Amino acid sequence: MARGFAVHLHAADPASEIPPAGLIPARAPRAVPYLYTAAEVSAYTAAEVSALMAVTSSLASPLRAATYRTLIGLLAATGMRVGEAIRLDRPDFGPATGVLTVRNTKFGKSRLVPLHPTTATAVAGYLRLRDQLHPGPGDPAILISPAGTRLAYCNVHATWRLLVRRAGLAPRSPNCRPRPHDLRHSFAVASLLDAYAAEQDGDARLALLATYLGHANPAATYWYLSAAPELLALAGQRLDDHQERP
């Protein structure tokens, strides 16, 4: 934009300098987060997520259907990255404690992810089912393909696009399409909306949320939240209320 303006000035004043092309590296714009609609203000009641989970039954293999239903639910209920979920091994899940251990993730860090009891029950139920559908020794991964191997990242995205079409989810703009990673955005936004609804300290919840999501800096978490008009409106209302106090 600056170079285009300089070209415009140069037409009127030849002494104006035009910066050379490529002087400042250009970046592709970040995708606009697709925040999945919710029936209530809660991280666990997303209507569109329920639709995605329901259409997994249309997948040909019962094991594939169960795997993707569990993957979608796990991403929605924890805000995990797709890569973190497909790297989980069976020893990383503690059924008695309801805690996942996410190892060697972004920046080489590991963290503990406590699960809601319903999520822990669903993961345990999936493991029992997959052992019935694919008995015998196999890949140590929690989430497996019908061949018994760990899910591949590219295959997850291909299947996601298929499920999105079957669930009838449409892009909201050319840069706002339903992606698996947007479940992470939706989880973050819903968590802060819950905090505001309960009149909790948003800053304190943001710090906890950053740790839960595995962000090294809360600023990275804040970017997730800046795309939610409802959240910005609530934050603005709280600021107005604070300024009106005597």
Close Cβ partners of 36 (under 8 Å, ≥ 6 residues apart): 46, 47, 48, 49, 76, 178, 182, 183, 186
Q: In whole angstroms, give the CA distance from residue 88 to residue 229.
A: 34
Sheet of 99-102, strand order: 93-94, 99-102, 111-114
Q: Which residues have a catalytic role annotated?
A: 81, 106, 181, 184, 215, 224
Q: In whole angstroms, give the CA distance from residue 153 to residue 166.
A: 20
Name the nearest CA neighbour of 86 among 107, 99, 67.
67
C-alpha distances out from residue 8 to 2, 19, 21, 24, 34, Å = 10, 12, 15, 18, 37
